[in-house]
Amino acid sequence: MLLSGSDILVKTLIEQGCDTVFGYPGGQILNVYDSLYTHQDQLNHILTAHEQGAVHAADGYARATGKVGVVISTSGPGATNLVTGIATAYLDSIPMVAICGNVPTTQIGSDSFQEIDITGVTLPITKHNYFVGRVEDLADTIREAFVLAKSGRPGPVLIDVPKDVQIAECEYEPISPVQKEEPYAAKDIRIEEAAKIINSSKRPFIYFGGGLITADAQDEMLELAEKIDAPLGCSLMGLSAIPTDHPRFLGMQGMHGHYASSMAMHNADVIVSLGVRFNDRVTGNRQKFATGAKIIHIDVDGSELSKTVNVVCGLRGDVKLTLRKLLPLVNENKKPEWTKKVNAFRKEEESYLDNREGLTPRKAIMTLNKHLGENTAVATDVGQHQMWSAQNLSFKTSRRFISSGGLGTMGFGFGAAIGAAFGTGERSVLVTGDGSFGMNLNELATAVRYNIPIVILVINNGVLGMVRQWQTLFYNKHYSNTVLNRKTDFVALAKAFGADGEAVTTPEELDSAFGRAFGTDGPYIIDCKIDKDEFVLPMLPPNGSMDDIITKLEVEL
């Protein structure tokens, strides 16, 4: 049938199984919004308060569902407002398609009103991007973008659509949703090598990240762990992949990781790493990182193998399929010595746990745990609250911890929590700090407008806590621009936007506030006041090794 570009765009999204998109209209995307209007019974469009909120929502939706998140914006400022969100998705390998309007092709390159070279701007932060110059290419470009976004190592893809292409007409025939490229296992010879190394190991450790979740390889990994009697640890991006209370799970490791998890990794003789990329926040000083260990690395992205740490055995392939081939080659045996040692690390960790009275950050997160449903997604912003969440949140279901790991985007959480709520169809939680929340709190308007049930826990210490922590430890307590001195009343703020909330100062108040928040049909803010000098511990100093780990605060405040 003969259709306009904008109709083709919307119909292709529907054809690809898209049910919800996030976005913000504007001059050069008006035609697409007109088509969204006529297709509103088939495609739900969520209007945010800012394009950044929309792109983070698409990201949160994708993280919670595994589907491709879609965001739509206008040209120029609309497009540039997506940049931080696209970069966030890129660094965390999240499947996303971003669609921007642009000025008509006849005006491209003439610095027209709201014209920006968005394909140029997003070149280093997308898997690929497209400028669609002909309406005939539009449907196939969108389809190709979906394939790219979800294939191999997922990531964001941007499509720039000039206004005249939205207006022009051509034939369109719907097709069935495109499939991602067929995944494949690593080469047999590498798998055999890996099995040999694993079979000779006395102290194996399995380390997993976001790639495990993408590959949906949890069952295979747990089978391997049982077989070789290995403890499990993860990166920030791996959190929620397996239930937090799994007996083999030692928690996140790295700069603010669990002591036992970091120690087990440090003392292992073989590290089986699955869908990770050995970021500097994980390894610390790479020269001193797990020096006694042979590293086996399975990743779908071959460029990650030996990128930052040298691996003995690099396997390029789908984690799930590769593990399936690896499992029969691995000998089953118990390692009581190693288990004993790991348990000793656990014991030691317990002695470092923060069990102080009063409303401590750990207490706040533990209280939240009591109220979380099995399927509740928890989004965070970035900073101390993010690390306290990563350390203490308890998950039952995969894809329920939604956090900006690679880029570390303050202001990510609110949009992501909105997207996650639409993705799961359930209430979501946002754990944020007063600093991060200040960056994108305008999305309260969105949450109220769509009556999205989101519990917003603002861990409020009046400072930019993570930066302050570094200033305390490494910058002679020069608290340069980290003391906020704001007078924001978060409860009044909630009310101003048409939501509700309350402030708490004790664990008991917090507990009952959660009771009300989780019963509210819409967003609810809890302003949780904590001390400004709370620390995230343990801490591996930047570029440090496990020998430098800080487990107790010994600085005089």
Partner 1 sequence: MNRYTIAVLVRNQFGVLNRLTSMFRRRQFNISSITASETETAEYSRITFSFDGEENGKQQLINQLYKLPDVCSIKELTSENSLNCELMLIKMKNDPAAREEIHSAAEAFKAEVVDYSRESIVLRVIGNSMKMDDFISLMRDFTILEICRTGTASLEKGSTTIRHTINL
Which residue numbers are catalytic? 51, 113-114, 163, 466
- Using the minimum distance from each CB to partner 1, give the nearer residue, 131 or 208: 131
Min dist CB 321 to partner 1, Å, is: 17
Whole-angstrom distance, CA of residue 232 vs CA of residue 542: 24
216: its two tokens = 């949906």
Using the rule CB under 8 A, is 297 a contact of partner 1? no
**502 vs 357, 485, 489, 495, 546, CA distance in Å?**
22, 20, 10, 10, 41
Using the rule CB under 8 A, is 182 a contact of partner 1? no
Min dist CB 9 to partner 1, Å, is: 21
Site string for partner 1, 127-166 (x = CB under 8 A): xx--x----------------x------------------
Min dist CB 158 to partner 1, Å, is: 13
- Residue 468: exposed, middle, or buried by beta-carbon count in 10 A (0-12, 13-18, 19+)? buried
Using the rule CB under 8 A, is 124 a contact of partner 1? yes
Whole-angstrom distance, CA of residue 101 vs CA of residue 164: 10
Whole-angstrom distance, CA of residue 411 vs CA of residue 430: 11
116: its two tokens = 């920006």
Using the rule CB under 8 A, is 302 a contact of partner 1? yes
Listed ranges 64-72, 125-133, 196-204, 356-364: which one lies at the site for partner 1 (CB under 8 A): 125-133
- Using the minimum distance from each CB to partner 1, give the nearer residue, 147 or 503: 147
Amino acid at the residue 250: L
Min dist CB 123 to partner 1, Å, is: 5
Using the rule CB under 8 A, is 120 a contact of partner 1? yes
Q: Which residue has the tokens 């401590």?
A: 360
Using the rule CB under 8 A, is 287 a contact of partner 1? no
Q: Which residue has the tokens 């014991």?
A: 347
In the list 52, 119, 235, 424, the residue contacting partner 1 (rule: CB under 8 A) is 119
142: its two tokens = 């969108």
Min dist CB 303 to partner 1, Å, is: 3
DSSP strand pairing (500-504 vs 524-529): parallel
Using the rule CB under 8 A, is 331 a contact of partner 1? no
Using the rule CB under 8 A, is 307 a contact of partner 1? yes
Using the rule CB under 8 A, is 123 a contact of partner 1? yes
> What is the per-residue burial (b if ≥16 Cβ within 10 Å, else e) of 292-302?
ebbbbbbbbee
Give the single-character DSSP code of 146.
H
Using the rule CB under 8 A, is 316 a contact of partner 1? yes
Using the rule CB under 8 A, is 200 a contact of partner 1? no
Please name the helix (run of DSSP H) or strand (run of DSSP E) that holds residue 55, with its range, or none. Answer: helix 51-65
- Contact present, 95 and 70 (Cβ < 8 Å): no
Which one, of 156, 159, 88, 81, lies nearest residue 114 by Cα? 81
Using the rule CB under 8 A, is 400 a contact of partner 1? no
- Contact present, 80 and 118 (Cβ < 8 Å): yes
- Using the minimum distance from each CB to partner 1, give the nearer residue, 128 or 335: 128
Min dist CB 124 to partner 1, Å, is: 6
Using the rule CB under 8 A, is 277 a contact of partner 1? no
Listed ranges 23-31, 122-130, 266-274, 332-340: which one lies at the site for partner 1 (CB under 8 A): 122-130
Task: Name the site residues for partner 1 (rule: CB under 8 A).
Answer: 119-120, 123-124, 127-128, 131, 148, 301-303, 307, 316
